[in-house]
């Protein structure tokens, strides 16, 4: 009887596993092979070149800049989305009359198309745009910047736009976590004389770890795979100042250097795996410990 149940469970799993293998595992393995070749659009023959593509990645200034920008974007958005997400969730978990309306307002940007975000923010962030106009109107003209054309700040500007758009999504996950915490814990803490900060530090944060874990993974992987925000706001410019790994992959494939483009994509996959899995295991251990 136990054998029958075991076989039945495998019967349910195999179709999904087969689809995943055909459409994800096999293409990934094929891509891994081609990353070690000189596969190009203008060549009929494909030759094995070993590590040449990867050596080129780490000696090309534009590719190195793209990797640096990708990590800057990922770190900035992970911190920004999660810190603001928790703050908004805590604030909107209180008994405010307008909390449902405010939740909808803060969440709504996350459902907008990136193209719509580009149409909204491109004119706002111009040198003569509304953002600099508002700063000048309130006496902060010294803070005026060429937000999308200054190479030193453009990647931070794009990260800020991404934080604005997606923080509401993280807020929704944190709200779900907060609403699953029993009020009894806070009542007991109040009786023991704990203030708001101690209640947040020793009750809210530990019990919110599953939601924090989910959001860290989502924002980290999303940050390392960034493409759309950069593509629609700057296209990687000015010059190559805001290039990220995703836009470099697109450009490389567009130039017909498919072997190199596959190598960059493989490197991105390895980087995401090496960063996200240890972080996931660490956060899971923290969950168990708490």
Q: Which range scores top for mean pLDDT: 8-12, 68-72, 116-120?
A: 68-72
Domain boundaries, the chain: 56-289
| Measured distance CA(147)–CA(161) in Å, rounded | 11
Give how far Cα 120 sits from Cα of 25, 109, 123, 220, Å.
38, 11, 7, 25
User: For 183-202, how does the pLDDT look when each residue is reduced to its tens digit (9 = 90+)?
Assistant: 888 888 888 888 888 888 88
Give Cα separations from 277 to 27, 164, 269 (angstroms): 21, 27, 12
Query: Which pLDDT score is estimated for 197?
Result: 87
For 164, the enclosing helix (H) or strand (E) is helix 154-179
Q: Is the predicted pLDDT of residue 164 greater than 60, yes or no?
A: yes
pLDDT at 148 over 90: yes
On whether the CB atoms of residues 38 and 248 are closer than 8 A, the answer is: no
Percent of the chain with pLDDT over 90: 62
Lowest-pLDDT choice from 5-9, 30-34, 159-163: 5-9
Integer Cα distance of 85 and 2 in angstroms: 46
Q: What is the pLDDT of residue 150?
A: 94
CA–CA separation, 27 and 47 (whole Å): 19
**Tokens of residue 269, six digits:** 């996959």
DSSP letter (8 states) at residue 48: B
| Residue 9: CB atoms within 10 Å | 10
Alpha carbon distance 50, 18 (integer Å): 31
The pLDDT assigned to 290 comes to 60
Position 15 scores a pLDDT of 85
- Count Cβ atoms below 10 Å from residue 139 Cβ, excluding itself: 8
Residue pLDDT, tens place only, 17-55: 899 999 988 988 999 999 999 999 888 888 999 999 999
Residue 3: band (very low, low, confident or very high) from pLDDT cuts 50, 70, 90: low
pLDDT mean across residues, the chain: 90
Q: What is the pLDDT of residues 90-117, one digit of tens each?
A: 999 988 888 899 999 999 999 998 888 8
Confidence of residue 68 (pLDDT cuts 50, 70, 90): very high
The reported pLDDT for the residue numbered 45 is 87
Long-range CB contacts (within 8 A, 24+) of 94-100: none
**pLDDT at position 5, please?**
60
Domain formed by 56-289, architecture? Orthogonal Bundle (1.10)
pLDDT tens digits along 214-250: 999 999 999 999 999 999 999 998 999 999 999 999 9
pLDDT of res. 185:
87
Neighbours of 183 (CB within 10 A): 7
Query: To 10 degrees, what angle do helices 258-289 and 245-254 make?
Result: 160
pLDDT band of residue 4 (cuts 50, 70, 90) is low
Instruction: Give 266's contacts (C-beta < 8 A, 6+ positions apart).
Output: 31, 32, 35
């Amino acid at each position: 009887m136990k054998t029958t149940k075991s076989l039945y469970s495998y019967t349910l799993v195999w179709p999904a596993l087969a689809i995943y293998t055909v459409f994800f595992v096999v293409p990934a393995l094929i891509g891994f092979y081609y990353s070690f070749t000189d596969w190009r659009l203008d060549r009929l023959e494909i030759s094995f070149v070993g590590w040449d593509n990867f050596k080129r990645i780490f000696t090309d200034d534009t590719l190195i800049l793209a990797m640096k920008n990708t990590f800057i974007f990922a770190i900035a958005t992970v911190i920004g989305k999660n810190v603001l997400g928790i703050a908004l969730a805590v604030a909107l978990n209180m008994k405010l009359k307008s909390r449902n309306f405010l939740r909808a307002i803060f969440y709504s940007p996350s459902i907008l198309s990136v193209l719509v975000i580009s149409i909204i923010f491109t004119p706002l962030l111009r040198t003569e745009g509304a953002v600099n106009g508002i700063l000048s109107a309130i006496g902060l003209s010294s803070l005026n910047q060429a937000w999308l054309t200054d190479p030193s700040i453009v990647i931070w500007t794009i990260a800020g736009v991404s934080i604005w758009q997606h923080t509401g999504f993280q807020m929704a996950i944190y709200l779900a976590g907060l609403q699953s915490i029993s009020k009894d814990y806070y009542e007991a803490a109040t009786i023991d004389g704990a203030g708001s900060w101690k209640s947040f530090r020793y009750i809210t944060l530990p019990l919110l770890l599953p939601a924090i874990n989910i959001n860290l993974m989502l924002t980290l992987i999303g940050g390392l795979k960034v493409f759309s925000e950069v593509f629609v706001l700057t296209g990687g410019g000015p010059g190559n100042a805001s290039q990220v790994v995703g836009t470099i992959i697109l450009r490389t494939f567009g130039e017909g250097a498919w072997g190199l483009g596959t190598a960059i994509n493989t490197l991105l996959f390895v980087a995401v795996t090496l960063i996200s899995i240890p972080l996931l295991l660490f956060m899971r251990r923290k969950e168990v410990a708490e």
